[in-house]
Structure 1
């Protein structure tokens, strides 16, 4: 069993008619069971068209009713992406994965408020997506670097998600599920939410957790791990050299009021029994050492 998605998932692409949506939907369809998993696209101005052989509908609700899809992936431009999430939530989908980067924080505040009490889970925005190796990939992660196995990966950093997987693969360690949760200040699933899923998954033996400066998500997760996790967890925090008060890259990575530094995160994680490497090249080796 994987977490969140598998070969039986049925996926809608919101923004399928754009260059990015079309390109990545094609790659996702070419991966493992993608041909049967990607069943619909949405564009309110182009219903009735076909992209890559996939029918396009005017709304998420229509696409869901026509195909039985329960998952959506969003490649809609930033100005309209929060509204696309809202539409998927209103259609009562199980899971929405928002790849779009640069959504205004105010828009996401409104969207998170609207999601309260709804069943829909959100991965992202500004994330690379999710892969259940040899079954399904949703998003922009390269499929060929993954292999079926028993290691869970959860990461706030897109690039380091790929790096972690590549290191595991070099040690012949496959993954149960790999999730990039995105680095925006207001997002969906946090490290803690994903860790709970991995803890309950019978086919995950250990978890590699990649975090970065800003916020307290990693610390919250570490404290939960200490009291509840039945499996070994190792970690890496990006941004040890980041100057306080400076936003790093595109992420919600900013140290504010002394909170959210890499040193603070590492200290809390180690106090909670999570082994942490300071060297991003050692993530795979560290994980292998706890098996």
Structure 2
């Protein structure tokens, strides 16, 4: 069991023939069942070609119909990435993982509006992707640090995802699935959406949740956890020392109107029964202590 992706997932890469798409597709092919799972690329200018033996199609729809792929990963440059998401949604894929950073907010507002009522789930943009260890990785995370196990990880920060995973693995705590939801202000799945999936996943025994300043997603997730979560949750919030009004790294990591501070998030999460560490070096140890 896992959430969102496993060894039976069939994946297409939008932007596979670009420098970034080529590099990370190769890395994914070399991890676990990647050779079986990645079945198509999409680039209208390179249709009919192959990359690493994988056929390139002109459209997402054609790639889906020909190969049966139901998941897409996007490495398309920022000015065109929202349109790539739109195309995947129109083709009714199950899941789209958008790695691209720097997509204009206006573009994502339009794309989110177009997604209303559609079946496609979106992870990202500006995210590291998803990995189910020893089965499949879709994205840019280093596969070697992951171990198969029963801890779910959901994070807004890519590098803190890797740090959390490395700590868990070092302590002998493998992961069921790790989901990097991305740090943009307008994105797809939130902490709450992923937490609900972990709650229903028989292979997940506990969840490590990494958040950061900006917005109210962590607080909304925490309130749901208090009412519904059947498994232990631990957390870390980045940005305790961030000054109000200054964006910290991610497009969504900004304290505005007095809302979205790290302390506010920590307070709500602790009130809702989530164990919090203020030291990022202690995330794994805290997770182990609650199991």
On whether the aligned pair clears a TM of 0.5, the verdict is yes
Q: TM-score, normalization: structure 2?
A: 1.00
Deviation at 1:251, TM superposition (A): 3.2
Please give the per-residue CA displacement for 1:45-92, whole angstroms capped at 9, x wherever unaligned: 110000111100000000000000000000000000000000000000
Q: What residue number does 1:24 align with?
A: 24
Cα deviations by residue, 1:77-123 (Å, 9 ceiling, x for unpaired): 00000000000000000000000000000000000000000000000
Look up the match of 1:210.
Answer: 210
Consecutive unaligned residues in structure 1, runs of 5 or more: none
CA distance in 2, matches of 1:270, 1:101: 31
CA offset digits 1:225-283 (Å, max 9, x no partner): 00000000000000000001110113310001110000000000000000100000000
Give yes or no for the alignment of 1:47 onto 2:47.
Answer: yes
Which runs of structure 2 are paired with 1:241-252 in the superposition (5 Å)?
Answer: 241-252=241-252
RMSD: 0.4
- Superimposed CA distance per residue, residues 200-243 of structure 1 (whole angstroms, 9 cap, x where no aligned partner): 00000000000000000000000000000000000000000000
Q: Secondary structure at the match of 1:218?
A: helix
* C-alpha separation in 2, matches of 1:170 and 1:56: 39
Residue 220 of structure 1 pairs with residue 220 of structure 2: yes
State the match for 2:163 in structure 1.
Answer: 163
**TM-score normalised by L of structure 1:** 1.00
- List structure 1 runs of 4+ shifted beyond 2 angstroms: none
Cα separation, 1, equivalents of 2:170 and 2:52: 34
Which residue is equivalent to 2:277? Answer: 277
Alignment of 1:82-161 (within 5 A): 82-161=82-161
- Structure 2, unpaired ranges of 5+: none
Distance 2:94 2:249 in 1: 31
